[in-house]
Chains A and B, each alone.
Chain A
């Protein structure tokens, strides 16, 4: 009897010990995130100011800022979104709503799974060889935006497919029963119902693209830019100009990388402040995505 009791007690103790260990592992991950944010804030919060956001990089760390970097990031993201969203959503719609089940569809599916696992720097090499030199787009905003668009394409496709898959078949059948064509069904009912999920995927994809450094370093984005690209709206006819697409550029993560690589601690403070800006952007985008996903799950009551 006492043997049994001790055996049970030992089993319980072991169970508690293991639960504690597993909880500790979980906390390690969360603490690392906290340490990272606190470290950046301690090092960089002092440098965050209006001056920092409105100045060009400079040899004097106190006068330097990230104006050209965040303008570059905004323009590159514009190109990325304009290229990746239509292409990725269309591909997702085809694979989920149209594609017949045969070898080509299988091939496309395996291919997308593989593309999602290709290291980002390989996309950079592809862009360097193909976009920069063979298509002669140069080391421009257009090249950078397209590179990141290809990089996040699998994310957008997979998210679109998952959102479409969650729409029940009854919605489609109801539309068909009223005589709608396939495209009318998809456009007016299925995609409309899946919009929230698709937008969540797009936000996650773009937040990934904002933080990407390696592929843009590879295509030769510059690290020191003390001017802005030509504005898209001109004072003279024809008023709209696309010259900015072909302008050299830098982005926020590359500016940060550049400052980390310098030996002076004052530049490291600039890097930390830039990191805070970058982190705020990506975490805010992810928070929006998490919130959307949460709301969608509650509202979905098919």
Chain B
């Protein structure tokens, strides 16, 4: 009798400890939000939100400091757009090939190799962008500066391909076989079946894959910090050098800013902006992915 009671207490204690471990993930989120907001609040007490959102210069470390986030947002958007221009077509087509054309054996070999692309450390991609892709591009585009958003974006696109192809392929393979069989039965080719039946049926899964890809690109740091330069500069031309939100945080961290200064706080304001952008994409992607899981 006593033994079973002790046993019950032991069981309870273990369940409590495990629950605490699971709840720690919420503590991490609280830690992130409270730190970003806590350091950004004093920043916004000195810099008005209006200036932050509308000024076209970002020079927090200059004598005449200006705090407009637009140049950093522009840099982030341009590199993301270039990356998506590579990753969306390549990732989607690769997924269609793996899901609709490739034999089981080819898929089993190729898919893990493709996924290695996302295992390569980003600093290695940065090296590749700066010292291989940029010199190659300079031969095609004379006058291209050594730091430019094009090369960083292209390499970032390669990095994102597996995120997109992997999720897209899962979505397409979740499309039930009888839809394909019905399409083949009325004489459609593999191409017609893939484009007119499988892709439309998997569309919410594809959208989720794309959105998570965008969120990856927006938050990517080392490739852009190495290959696109770290000078904030309002431009929409991918051939120009410019800093992204993430590159600015790296640039400040490399220096020696005193704790509590306005420059120190500015990286938290930048981080909060980054977090807000990616959060919107992550939630949208999560909801879409849930929907495609429930569809069949």
> Which residues of A are in contact with B by a Cβ distance under 8 Å?
11-12, 14-15, 18-19, 21-26, 28-30, 32-33, 35-36, 39-40, 43, 86-88, 90-91, 93-95, 98-99, 107-108, 110-115, 117-126, 128-130, 133, 150, 153-154, 157, 181-183, 204, 207-208, 210-214, 217-220, 223, 253, 256-257, 260-261, 268, 271-272, 275, 278-279, 282-283, 286, 290, 294
Contacts and interface: CB of A to CB of B under 8 A. Distances in A.
A26 B116 contact: no
B285 interface: yes
B45 to A, nearest CB: 17
B1 interface: no
Interface residues of B, number: 90
A119 B278 contact: yes
B219 A119 contact: yes
B50 interface: no
A12 B187 CA distance: 11
B238 to A, nearest CB: 19
Nearest to B34: A130
B191 A94 contact: no
B279 interface: yes
B7 interface: yes
B259 interface: yes
Given A98-B18, A214-B221, A256-B123, A30 B113 contact: yes
A181 B32 contact: no
Given A30-B110, A126-B36, A210-B121, A118 B275 contact: yes
Contacts of A118: 32, 219, 275, 278, 282
A95 B22 contact: yes
A32 B94 contact: no
B271 A125 contact: yes
B253 A108 contact: no
Given A117-B278, A213-B221, A260-B130, 19 more contacts: A15-B190, A15-B191, A18-B191, A19-B97, A28-B90, A39-B132, A90-B22, A91-B25, A111-B29, A117-B285, A118-B219, A118-B282, A119-B274, A125-B35, A125-B267, A126-B36, A133-B259, A183-B10, A217-B253
B94 A94 contact: no
B122 interface: yes
A214 B10 contact: no
A126 B36 CA distance: 7
Interface of B: 7, 10-11, 14-15, 17-19, 21-26, 28-29, 31-32, 35-36, 38-39, 89-94, 96-98, 101, 108, 110, 112-117, 119-128, 130-132, 158, 161-162, 165, 189-192, 194-195, 212, 215, 218-222, 225-226, 246, 249-250, 253-254, 259, 267-268, 271, 274-275, 278-279, 281-283, 285-286
A207 B251 CA distance: 25
A213 B120 contact: no
Given A110-B286, A211-B123, A153 B28 contact: yes
Contact of A279 (B121, B189, B246, B268): B121
A223 B36 CA distance: 25
Tell me which of A32, A108, A183, A223 has the highest count of chain B C-beta atoms within 10 A of its own C-beta. Answer: A32
Nearest to B8: A181
28 contacts: A14-B189, A19-B97, A22-B94, A23-B97, A90-B18, A91-B25, A108-B22, A110-B286, A111-B29, A113-B286, A114-B279, A119-B274, A119-B278, A121-B271, A122-B274, A123-B32, A129-B38, A183-B15, A213-B122, A214-B249, A218-B249, A223-B254, A260-B131, A260-B226, A275-B123, A278-B123, A278-B124, A283-B116
A260 B24 CA distance: 37
B265 to A, nearest CB: 10
Contact of A117 (B32, B90, B162, B215): B215
B26 A36 contact: no
Contact of A114 (B7, B98, B120, B286): B286
Nearest to B4: A181
Nearest to A90: B21
A212 B219 CA distance: 13
A151 B136 CA distance: 35
- 5 smallest A-B Cβ distances: which pairs? A119-B219, A211-B121, A25-B93, A90-B21, A22-B97
A118 to B, nearest CB: 7
